[in-house]
Amino acid sequence: MAQKVEAAPFKGFAEADPDQANPWKIAQRQFDIAAQALGLDPNMASVLRECKRQLIVTFPVLMDDHTIQMFTGFRVHHNVDRGPAKGGIRYHPGVTIDEVKALAMWMTWKCAVVGIPYGGAKGGVIVDPKRLSRNELENLTRRYTSEISILIGPDRDIPAPDVNTNAQIMAWMMDTISMHAGHSVPAVVTGKPLGIGGSEGRPEATGRGCMLTTIAALKHLGIRPQDATVAVQGVGNVGYTTAKLLAERGCKVIAVSDSNGACYNEDGIELDEVVREKELNGRLRQQVCEFISNEELLELPVTVLVPAALENQIHRGNANRIKARIVCEGANGPTTPEADEILYDKGVFVIPDILANAGGVTVSYFEWVQDLQEFFWDEHDINERLERIMMRAFDNVLKVSLEKKIMMRTAACRGVPAAAQTTSYCSKSRSM
């Protein structure tokens, strides 16, 4: 079963002004909107709108043909006042330092939204992993881990999977750190295989959180799951799990896509058949389905749209044509601030990334706690605790959004004051 978002880039947003499409500029603009709406002290805002640390590493990797190839990677800490830095590692040819900075900042707000004691981080390597052999991927992962080891550690910075990285890559990262420590250090990464300290429920956690928040949004809007149709852009781990769990709750999934395009059938998609076809023949298909583009998928007349691929998919060029009642952001940063306003004015209910996809980091937190305590919980406990946290976060964000008449994204940034409060307590012993 395909469990990864494809490495080939989704066709995103190309604006004349590159700042408009720059994820870091977008993250800062979202922050400014939230800081203003939530009345954040301007001094504190000036601290929180920047990243604390940015490490750029260029390192050699031994390839199978015995040549050495150089790769560039990043690890960024946005803020560490609420706890160790936390966030995934992405392998993608389009990775940039500005993208990693934005993703690190979003991790800070995400952890604050669900109330877990972490700051925000992110990492990435500029690489198309589909072009590497397994051996080359392992060499690259181990060398990158070694290069960023000056930052990572169970009480400092804990990486996890993100686009095109998975449990095996986390295992190589953990082993690289453990080799040098001289003992096993499971709590240095999350999203590991179960046998070496991974957690039950972690692979599905992000999609489960998306499903839970979507069901809560449907309830809020008075729509029964049985009456809801769903389109999912990007049927990797997050998109696939969200689609599968929503179908289990009675929703009808009518379109799914990968980077090559979408498979659409208004009578419903047989998810497992479609994904199996992709494994066998490299293309999402089922017996009766229409092939449409990713852009067309976004504009389908569905109840729920789940962008679960990359950034900047819903922008001012297409936001007006979005027909979904609910947009559940499985991906990080799929909607630009201009599109946010258009969707808000149209009455589209957006479940922002920092809330919708926070299930992943929440179960990462459970995994870290279990590793540190060397005491493991069963899947039922994990899912129950996850649901409690996600529902509390959803209710809190919805309440602020309704009370203050602000977008769900801006309301979710109430994590900004939480981070600011910690930062201001901590500032007494630090020079800001």
Closest-by-Cβ residue to ligand GLU is: 88
Residue 1 to residue 10: CA distance in whole angstroms: 20
Beta carbon of residue 168, minimum distance to ligand GLU (angstroms, whole number): 16
CA torsion sign for 238, 242, 245, 247 is negative
Q: Which is nearer to ligand GLU, 113 or 348 (CB)?
A: 113
Q: Which is nearer to ligand GLU, 87 or 207 (CB)?
A: 87
Q: Which residues are catalytic?
A: 122
Residue 10 in contact with residue 309, Cβ under 8 Å? yes
| Phi, psi torsion values for 339, nearest 5 degrees | -65, -35
* Residue 16 burial (10 A CB sphere; 0-12, 13-18, 19+): exposed
SS3 211: helix
Q: Which is nearer to ligand GLU, 5 or 314 (CB)?
A: 5
Residue 62 in contact with residue 139, Cβ under 8 Å? yes
Q: Which is nearer to ligand GLU, 362 or 401 (CB)?
A: 362
Task: Name the residue among 360, 286, 296, 363 with its Cα closest to residue 323.
Answer: 296
Footprint of ligand GLU on this chain (CB under 6 A)? Answer: 86-88, 160, 162, 190, 332, 357, 360-361, 364
Residue 62 to residue 44: CA distance in whole angstroms: 45
| Phi, psi torsion values for 150, nearest 5 degrees | -70, -15
Task: Name the residue among 14, 151, 140, 164 with its Cα closest to residue 73.
Answer: 140
Beta carbon of residue 245, minimum distance to ligand GLU (angstroms, whole number): 17
Q: Which is nearer to ligand GLU, 126 or 292 (CB)?
A: 126
Residue 99 to residue 40: CA distance in whole angstroms: 25
